[in-house]
Structure 1
Amino acid sequence: MKAILTGHTRGLGAAIAENLLARNIPVLGLARATNDALGQRFPSLLEQHAVDLSDTAALSQWLAGDAMRRFLAGGDTVLLINNAGIVQPVGPLPAQDPATIARAVALNVAAPLMLAGAVAAAGMRDTRILHISSGAARNAYPGWSVYCATKAALDHHARAATLDQVPGLRIASLAPGVIDTDMQADIRATPLERFPIRERFDELKRSGALTSPAECAVRLVAYLLGEGFGQDAVMDLRVLAG
C-alpha cells in the first residue's frame, strides 16, 4: 500500500501524512514546500516533490514524468488524498480578483481531477481516491462563492466517477468538519464586509469547538482504509464519527 498526498506540509495534510507514515505506509507528498520535520522522522517512507499545484502546466509536466510510476512500482494498493486547497478569494463578486479566482479553481479543482485521472490510469488492483471537500460544498455562504463552487465540483466529480464503475477504483468526497488550521485563522482575520458570517467561526474558536488536525486525521485515515470506503460518493466525517 502506498499513498499520494497533496498539501502535506501543514495543518490537516501534515497530520494525515504523519498518521499514514506511523502505519508504515509510504507517502509521496506534493506541495510547494517540503515537510522537513516528517522527512527527518521518516526518511525511508516519505518522498517529497515540490510542485505548485495551482500551476496546471507545472503539474502536467510533473505527471508526464516518471516520478509517480516509480513511486507506485511494486505496490498493489494506492491511496490518493487530494487535501491541498485555498479559501481565497473571499468577498462578493465585485471584490474578487480574477487571478486569485483562477488560482483557486486550479488548486481546488483542476489539480485533484488531474491527479485522480493519473492515479486511476496507473491500474492498481485497489485504488482509493479521497477528495477533501467541505460543508461549503453543500451549503452556500456569502463571500465564499468561489470556495463553495470549487468544493461542490469535487463532490460532483466523485458522484460521476462512481458511476463509471471502474474495476478496483473507489472514490469519495469527504467534508472533514471544522478544523483548527491556518485556514481557520485566515477566515477569522477576514473583514466582516467580505465575510458577513465570520462571527460564526469566531465563536467556534472561542468555544473550543474546532477539531484538532491530529484528531481529524485519525478518523479520516480509518475511514479511507476501511471496507466501507466508497460506498457513498459524498460523505461527512462528523456523520461517520457519530
Structure 2
Amino acid sequence: MIKAVVTGHTRGLGAAVAAQLLARGIAVLGLARGHAEGGEGMEQASVDLGDGAALAAWLQGDTLRRFLAGCDTALLVNNAGVVSPVGPLAQQDPLAALRAATINVAAPLALAAAFVQAAPQAQRRIVHVSSGAARNAYPGWSVYCATKAALDQHARAVALDADPRVLACSLAPGVIDTDMQAEIRATPDARFPLRQRFVDLKEGGDLVAPSQCAAALVDYLLGAGFGQQAVDDLRN
C-alpha cells in the first residue's frame, strides 16, 4: 500500500500532484492553510507552514503517524513554497524573508524528519520541489534562490546518510503555469530585472500546465530509479 503526504495541495502544482496520486489509487494527506474540494482517498490538515509554532504543535500530534500506518511505501512531496519577498535587500520586508525561509526551508526539513520517523517500516521517498533558481542566482531573488538551494543540499546530505529505505531528491519541475508565475510577471522591473523573460514564456506558450508537470513528477517519484540523483531536473 502506498500513501502520500503533499504540502500546498490546494492549488497549482500541489493540487495537480494530489489529483494524480488519487487517480492512481494512492491515499493523500494534504497539508495547507486552507482546504481543497477533497474526495475519496483525500485527508486534509489545516496547518500554516509559515508559522513555525503552529507547525511544531501539529507535528507533536499523531496525524502523520496515524495516516501512514500500515503502508509499505510512503511518499512526501514538499511542494509548498513562496517567491516573495522579491527585490534587493534594501527593499525586502524582513518579516516576509523570515516567513519565506520558514515555508521554503524549515517546514520541509522538519516534515522530512517527522515523515521518516512516522513510518519506520515503510520505504520512504521524499521529493523537494526545487527550482532552477537553486542552481543559478538571479537579481531580486536572493531569498528564493537561497531557500531552494537549501533543499538541494538537504537532499544531497540525506543521500550521504545511505539509508536504502529513505530516498530523497530535490527536483526542479520546470516553468509551470501557476499563480506564482502570475506573481512574478506582476513584479515591477525595478524589483526583478528578469521579469520580461517570464512574460515572454507566458506569451510564447512555453509554460507547462500543472497537470502535465504533475503526471511527470509522480511518474518520477514512483519510478525504479528514484533517489539515484539527489538533485535533478524533471526536464532532463
Whether TM-score is above 0.5 comes out as: yes
Q: Are residues 1:66 and 2:66 paired?
A: no
Which of 127, 130, 148 in structure 2 is aligned with 1:130? Answer: 127
Q: Which amino acid in 2 is paired with 1:193? A: A
Q: CA deviation at 1:74?
A: 1.2
- Displaced runs of 4 or more, over 3 A: none
Q: Does 1:4 align with 2:5?
A: yes
Percent of aligned pairs with the same amino acid: 65
One-letter code of the match for 1:148?
C
Tell me if the contact between 1:131 and 1:174 (Cα under 8 Å) persists in the aligned partners: yes
Give how far 1:76 is off. Answer: 1.6
CA-CA distance at 1:156 after TM superposition? 0.3
Amino acid across the alignment from 1:127: R
Question: 1:184 is matched with which residue?
Answer: 181
C-alpha deviation, 1:137, in angstroms: 0.2
Q: Is residue 78–residue 124 contact of structure 1 (8 Å, CA) maintained in 2? A: no
Aligned to 2:52: 56
For residue 120 of structure 1, report the CA deviation from its aligned partner. Answer: 1.3
Q: Alpha-carbon deviations, 1:75-111, whole Å to 9, x = none?
A: 1210000000000000001001110000000000000
1:124 offset after TM fit, Å? 3.2
Could you tell me how far apart the structure 2 residues matched to 1:187 and 1:157 are? 26
Q: d(CA) in 2 for partners of 1:226 and 1:219?
A: 10
Q: Deviations over 1:117-174 (max 9, x none)?
A: 0111121331000000000000000000000000000000000111011241100000
Whether contact under 8 Å (1:137, 1:148) holds in the other structure is yes
- Please, what is the CA RMSD of the aligned residues? 0.7
Q: Distance between the aligned counterparts of 1:71 and 1:197, measured in 2?
A: 43
Matched residue, 2:85: 89
Q: Which runs of 5+ in 1 are unaligned?
A: none
Q: Residue 113 in 1 paired to residue 109 in 2?
A: yes
> How many corresponding residue pairs?
234
Q: In the alignment, what sits opposite 1:18?
A: 19
2:121, 2:204 → 1: CA distance? 45
Q: Taking structure 2 as the reference length, what is the TM-score of the superposition? A: 0.98
Query: Match for 2:43 among 41, 47, 55?
Result: 47
In the alignment, the residues of structure 1 paired with residue 12 and residue 121 of structure 2 have an alpha-carbon distance, to the nearest angstrom, of 29
Q: Say whether 1:141 aligns with 2:138.
A: yes
With the length of structure 1 as denominator, give the TM-score of the two structures: 0.96
What secondary structure is seen at the aligned counterpart in 2 of 1:231?
coil
In the alignment, is residue 223 of structure 1 matched against residue 224 of structure 2?
A: no
Structure 2 residue runs of 5 or longer lacking an equivalent are none
Answer yes or no: is the 8 Å Cα contact 1:29–1:48 preserved in 2: yes
